[in-house]
Structure 1
Protein backbone atom coordinates (compact mmCIF):
# COMPACT_ATOMS: atom_id res chain seq x y z
CA UNK A 1 0.00 0.00 0.00
CA UNK A 2 1.49 3.36 -0.98
CA UNK A 3 1.29 6.32 1.33
CA UNK A 4 -0.34 9.47 -0.01
CA UNK A 5 1.13 12.67 1.36
CA UNK A 6 -0.04 16.25 1.33
CA UNK A 7 2.74 17.16 -1.09
CA UNK A 8 1.98 14.40 -3.62
CA UNK A 9 -0.39 16.59 -5.62
CA UNK A 10 0.82 17.20 -9.19
CA UNK A 11 0.14 20.92 -8.61
CA UNK A 12 2.81 21.15 -5.89
CA UNK A 13 6.15 20.96 -7.67
CA UNK A 14 9.49 20.91 -5.86
CA UNK A 15 8.15 20.52 -2.32
CA UNK A 16 9.75 17.12 -1.66
CA UNK A 17 12.51 18.61 0.51
CA UNK A 18 9.89 20.48 2.55
CA UNK A 19 8.04 17.22 3.14
CA UNK A 20 11.22 15.52 4.38
CA UNK A 21 11.96 18.45 6.68
CA UNK A 22 8.46 18.35 8.18
CA UNK A 23 8.72 14.59 8.74
CA UNK A 24 12.07 15.02 10.52
CA UNK A 25 10.69 17.80 12.74
CA UNK A 26 7.60 15.74 13.60
CA UNK A 27 9.73 12.74 14.62
CA UNK A 28 11.85 14.87 16.96
CA UNK A 29 8.81 16.42 18.64
CA UNK A 30 9.78 16.32 22.32
CA UNK A 31 8.02 18.58 24.78
CA UNK A 32 11.28 19.91 26.23
CA UNK A 33 12.03 22.73 26.51
CA UNK A 34 8.65 24.47 26.43
CA UNK A 35 8.46 27.50 24.17
CA UNK A 36 6.29 30.42 23.07
CA UNK A 37 6.07 32.04 19.65
CA UNK A 38 4.76 35.58 19.54
CA UNK A 39 4.17 38.17 16.86
CA UNK A 40 5.59 41.61 17.57
CA UNK A 41 3.64 44.17 15.59
CA UNK A 42 5.69 46.71 13.69
CA UNK A 43 4.96 50.41 13.68
CA UNK A 44 2.43 51.68 11.14
CA UNK A 45 3.49 50.22 7.82
CA UNK A 46 6.43 48.42 9.43
CA UNK A 47 7.00 44.69 9.13
CA UNK A 48 5.95 42.26 11.83
CA UNK A 49 8.63 40.36 13.72
CA UNK A 50 8.49 37.01 15.46
CA UNK A 51 9.99 36.08 18.82
CA UNK A 52 10.56 32.51 19.95
CA UNK A 53 11.07 32.20 23.71
CA UNK A 54 12.35 28.92 25.19
CA UNK A 55 12.40 28.10 28.92
CA UNK A 56 16.01 26.96 29.43
CA UNK A 57 16.47 27.42 33.17
CA UNK A 58 19.78 25.99 34.35
CA UNK A 59 21.59 26.48 31.03
CA UNK A 60 24.31 29.09 30.63
CA UNK A 61 24.95 30.86 27.33
CA UNK A 62 28.03 28.64 26.78
CA UNK A 63 25.83 25.53 26.98
CA UNK A 64 23.36 26.81 24.36
CA UNK A 65 23.81 26.91 20.59
CA UNK A 66 21.49 28.70 18.15
CA UNK A 67 22.13 28.11 14.44
CA UNK A 68 20.39 28.04 11.09
CA UNK A 69 20.85 25.14 8.70
CA UNK A 70 19.16 25.39 5.31
CA UNK A 71 15.59 26.47 6.16
CA UNK A 72 15.66 25.44 9.82
CA UNK A 73 16.41 27.21 13.08
CA UNK A 74 18.07 24.74 15.46
CA UNK A 75 18.48 25.38 19.18
CA UNK A 76 20.68 22.93 21.09
CA UNK A 77 21.42 22.70 24.79
CA UNK A 78 24.16 20.55 26.33
CA UNK A 79 24.82 20.46 30.06
CA UNK A 80 27.89 18.71 31.42
CA UNK A 81 27.23 16.25 34.23
CA UNK A 82 28.78 17.63 37.43
CA UNK A 83 30.84 14.78 38.90
CA UNK A 84 32.39 16.87 41.69
CA UNK A 85 29.13 17.19 43.63
CA UNK A 86 27.53 14.43 45.69
CA UNK A 87 23.74 14.49 45.50
CA UNK A 88 21.55 12.96 48.22
CA UNK A 89 18.57 13.46 45.89
CA UNK A 90 18.74 14.47 42.26
CA UNK A 91 15.45 15.74 40.88
CA UNK A 92 16.98 18.18 38.38
CA UNK A 93 18.74 16.18 35.71
CA UNK A 94 21.49 17.48 33.46
CA UNK A 95 19.60 17.27 30.21
CA UNK A 96 20.42 17.76 26.55
CA UNK A 97 17.93 18.95 23.98
CA UNK A 98 17.54 19.93 20.37
CA UNK A 99 14.55 21.97 19.21
CA UNK A 100 14.02 22.58 15.48
CA UNK A 101 11.81 25.22 13.86
CA UNK A 102 11.15 25.31 10.10
CA UNK A 103 11.61 28.82 8.70
CA UNK A 104 9.85 30.24 5.68
CA UNK A 105 12.07 31.30 2.81
CA UNK A 106 13.69 34.67 3.44
CA UNK A 107 13.22 34.71 7.23
CA UNK A 108 16.24 36.00 9.14
CA UNK A 109 17.35 35.56 12.74
CA UNK A 110 18.16 39.04 14.02
CA UNK A 111 19.36 38.18 17.52
CA UNK A 112 19.19 35.97 20.60
CA UNK A 113 19.17 36.91 24.29
CA UNK A 114 19.33 34.82 27.47
CA UNK A 115 17.68 36.48 30.48
CA UNK A 116 16.27 34.95 33.67
CA UNK A 117 16.33 31.43 32.24
CA UNK A 118 14.48 32.42 29.06
CA UNK A 119 16.18 32.32 25.67
CA UNK A 120 14.53 34.79 23.27
CA UNK A 121 15.27 34.54 19.54
CA UNK A 122 14.06 37.35 17.29
CA UNK A 123 13.27 36.84 13.62
CA UNK A 124 12.40 39.22 10.78
CA UNK A 125 9.27 38.37 8.89
CA UNK A 126 9.82 39.97 5.49
CA UNK A 127 6.99 41.19 3.34
CA UNK A 128 6.91 39.09 0.18
CA UNK A 129 7.59 40.94 -3.03
CA UNK A 130 4.90 40.83 -5.64
CA UNK A 131 6.78 39.69 -8.67
CA UNK A 132 5.14 39.47 -12.07
CA UNK A 133 7.27 38.15 -14.87
CA UNK A 134 6.28 37.86 -18.52
CA UNK A 135 7.22 34.53 -20.12
CA UNK A 136 7.93 34.67 -23.84
CA UNK A 137 6.30 32.02 -25.98
CA UNK A 138 8.40 30.67 -28.81
CA UNK A 139 6.61 29.57 -31.97
CA UNK A 140 7.70 26.50 -33.91
CA UNK A 141 6.19 25.66 -37.27
Structure 2
Protein backbone atom coordinates (compact mmCIF):
# COMPACT_ATOMS: atom_id res chain seq x y z
CA UNK A 1 0.00 0.00 0.00
CA UNK A 2 1.36 3.42 -0.93
CA UNK A 3 1.01 6.01 1.81
CA UNK A 4 0.24 9.68 1.37
CA UNK A 5 3.79 10.44 2.55
CA UNK A 6 5.20 8.33 -0.31
CA UNK A 7 2.94 10.10 -2.81
CA UNK A 8 4.12 13.46 -1.43
CA UNK A 9 7.74 12.40 -1.89
CA UNK A 10 6.95 11.30 -5.45
CA UNK A 11 5.48 14.73 -6.20
CA UNK A 12 8.69 16.35 -4.96
CA UNK A 13 10.72 13.87 -7.02
CA UNK A 14 8.67 14.66 -10.15
CA UNK A 15 9.58 18.33 -9.82
CA UNK A 16 13.15 17.30 -10.71
CA UNK A 17 12.07 15.94 -14.12
CA UNK A 18 12.94 19.10 -16.10
CA UNK A 19 16.47 19.04 -14.64
CA UNK A 20 17.23 15.35 -15.19
CA UNK A 21 18.07 14.97 -18.87
CA UNK A 22 18.07 11.39 -20.16
CA UNK A 23 16.25 9.90 -17.17
CA UNK A 24 12.78 9.82 -18.74
CA UNK A 25 12.48 6.05 -18.45
CA UNK A 26 13.42 6.11 -14.76
CA UNK A 27 10.76 8.73 -13.99
CA UNK A 28 8.16 6.87 -16.08
CA UNK A 29 8.90 3.60 -14.26
CA UNK A 30 8.68 5.26 -10.87
CA UNK A 31 5.33 6.86 -11.73
CA UNK A 32 4.01 3.55 -13.08
CA UNK A 33 5.19 1.69 -9.99
CA UNK A 34 3.46 4.11 -7.62
CA UNK A 35 0.27 4.16 -9.69
CA UNK A 36 0.11 0.35 -9.87
CA UNK A 37 0.85 -0.17 -6.18
CA UNK A 38 -1.63 2.47 -5.04
CA UNK A 39 -4.46 0.36 -6.48
CA UNK A 40 -2.87 -3.10 -6.12
CA UNK A 41 -4.83 -5.79 -4.31
CA UNK A 42 -1.86 -8.15 -4.00
CA UNK A 43 -3.57 -10.69 -6.25
CA UNK A 44 -2.23 -12.93 -7.60
CA UNK A 45 0.68 -13.68 -5.29
CA UNK A 46 4.01 -14.18 -7.04
CA UNK A 47 7.68 -15.01 -6.50
CA UNK A 48 10.70 -13.94 -8.50
CA UNK A 49 13.70 -16.21 -8.19
CA UNK A 50 17.12 -16.38 -9.76
CA UNK A 51 17.83 -19.62 -11.64
CA UNK A 52 21.51 -19.72 -12.50
CA UNK A 53 23.75 -16.82 -13.46
CA UNK A 54 21.61 -15.24 -16.21
CA UNK A 55 18.12 -16.71 -15.73
CA UNK A 56 15.11 -15.69 -13.64
CA UNK A 57 11.68 -17.22 -13.08
CA UNK A 58 8.49 -15.40 -12.16
CA UNK A 59 6.04 -17.77 -10.47
CA UNK A 60 2.39 -16.78 -10.02
CA UNK A 61 -0.22 -18.73 -8.05
CA UNK A 62 -3.23 -19.02 -10.38
CA UNK A 63 -5.32 -21.88 -9.02
CA UNK A 64 -8.52 -22.35 -11.01
CA UNK A 65 -7.24 -20.58 -14.13
CA UNK A 66 -6.55 -22.45 -17.35
CA UNK A 67 -4.20 -21.62 -20.23
CA UNK A 68 -7.04 -19.98 -22.17
CA UNK A 69 -7.82 -17.72 -19.18
CA UNK A 70 -4.38 -16.06 -19.00
CA UNK A 71 -2.64 -13.60 -21.33
CA UNK A 72 1.09 -12.95 -21.13
CA UNK A 73 2.38 -10.03 -23.19
CA UNK A 74 5.69 -8.20 -23.55
CA UNK A 75 5.72 -4.67 -24.97
CA UNK A 76 8.11 -1.74 -24.54
CA UNK A 77 10.06 -3.36 -21.71
CA UNK A 78 6.96 -4.29 -19.73
CA UNK A 79 5.77 -7.83 -19.05
CA UNK A 80 2.02 -7.93 -18.46
CA UNK A 81 0.13 -10.93 -17.09
CA UNK A 82 -3.65 -10.64 -16.99
CA UNK A 83 -6.72 -12.79 -16.70
CA UNK A 84 -9.48 -12.93 -19.24
CA UNK A 85 -11.67 -15.38 -17.31
CA UNK A 86 -15.12 -14.26 -16.25
CA UNK A 87 -17.34 -15.67 -13.54
CA UNK A 88 -19.86 -17.90 -15.22
CA UNK A 89 -23.48 -17.23 -14.40
CA UNK A 90 -24.54 -20.79 -13.71
CA UNK A 91 -28.11 -21.03 -12.43
CA UNK A 92 -27.34 -24.28 -10.60
CA UNK A 93 -24.82 -22.64 -8.23
CA UNK A 94 -26.44 -22.12 -4.83
CA UNK A 95 -23.45 -20.44 -3.21
CA UNK A 96 -20.46 -18.83 -4.96
CA UNK A 97 -17.43 -18.81 -2.65
CA UNK A 98 -14.81 -19.21 -5.37
CA UNK A 99 -14.32 -16.10 -7.43
CA UNK A 100 -12.38 -15.88 -10.68
CA UNK A 101 -11.60 -12.20 -10.47
CA UNK A 102 -9.89 -10.28 -13.18
CA UNK A 103 -6.35 -9.15 -12.54
CA UNK A 104 -3.47 -7.47 -14.30
CA UNK A 105 0.10 -7.60 -13.00
CA UNK A 106 2.93 -5.67 -14.69
CA UNK A 107 6.69 -6.16 -14.40
CA UNK A 108 9.27 -3.74 -15.77
CA UNK A 109 12.08 -5.58 -17.57
CA UNK A 110 15.64 -4.38 -18.00
CA UNK A 111 16.77 -3.77 -21.58
CA UNK A 112 18.85 -6.97 -21.61
CA UNK A 113 16.07 -9.29 -20.33
CA UNK A 114 14.06 -11.45 -22.74
CA UNK A 115 11.03 -13.62 -22.00
CA UNK A 116 11.82 -17.16 -23.10
CA UNK A 117 8.77 -19.16 -22.08
CA UNK A 118 5.57 -19.24 -20.04
CA UNK A 119 3.87 -22.38 -18.80
CA UNK A 120 0.93 -23.12 -16.52
CA UNK A 121 1.11 -26.33 -14.51
CA UNK A 122 -0.93 -27.29 -11.44
CA UNK A 123 -2.15 -23.75 -10.88
CA UNK A 124 1.33 -22.18 -11.05
CA UNK A 125 2.29 -19.92 -13.95
CA UNK A 126 6.04 -19.92 -14.54
CA UNK A 127 7.59 -17.29 -16.79
CA UNK A 128 11.21 -17.91 -17.75
CA UNK A 129 13.39 -14.84 -18.27
CA UNK A 130 16.96 -14.65 -19.53
CA UNK A 131 19.52 -11.89 -19.25
CA UNK A 132 21.26 -11.68 -22.62
CA UNK A 133 24.82 -10.56 -21.99
CA UNK A 134 27.08 -10.02 -25.01
CA UNK A 135 30.37 -11.95 -24.90
CA UNK A 136 32.40 -8.74 -24.59
CA UNK A 137 30.54 -7.86 -21.37
CA UNK A 138 30.87 -11.28 -19.74
CA UNK A 139 33.68 -11.71 -17.22
CA UNK A 140 36.73 -13.43 -18.62
CA UNK A 141 39.93 -14.66 -17.10
CA UNK A 142 43.14 -13.01 -18.32
CA UNK A 143 46.22 -15.22 -18.22
CA UNK A 144 49.24 -13.62 -16.72
CA UNK A 145 52.41 -14.21 -18.76
Q: Give TM-score scaled by structure 2 length.
A: 0.74
SS at match of 1:90: coil
Partner Cα separation in structure 2 for residue 71 and residue 21 of structure 1: 10
* Structure of greater Rg: 1
Runs of 4+ in 1 over 4 A off after TM superposition: 9-12
| Equivalence for 1:23 | 31
**How many Å separate the matches in 2 of 1:76 and 1:7?**
33
CA distance in 2, matches of 1:69, 1:103: 10
Which has more helix, going by share of residues? 2
**Alpha-carbon offset, residue 110 of structure 1:** 0.3
Deviation at 1:6, TM superposition (A): 7.6
Does the 8 Å contact 1:7/1:19 carry over to 2? no
1:4 aligns with 2:12: yes
Give the match for residue 89 of structure 2: 83
Pairwise CA RMSD of aligned residues? Answer: 2.7
SS of the equivalent of 1:54 reads: strand
Instruction: In structure 2, list runs of 5 or more residues that go unmatched.
Output: 1-8, 138-145
Partner deviation per Cα, 1:73-126 (whole Å, 9 max, x = no partner): 000112122123432221111200000000011210000010000000000013
Q: TM-score, normalised by structure 1?
A: 0.76
Any gaps of 5 or more consecutive residues in structure 1?
43-47, 131-141
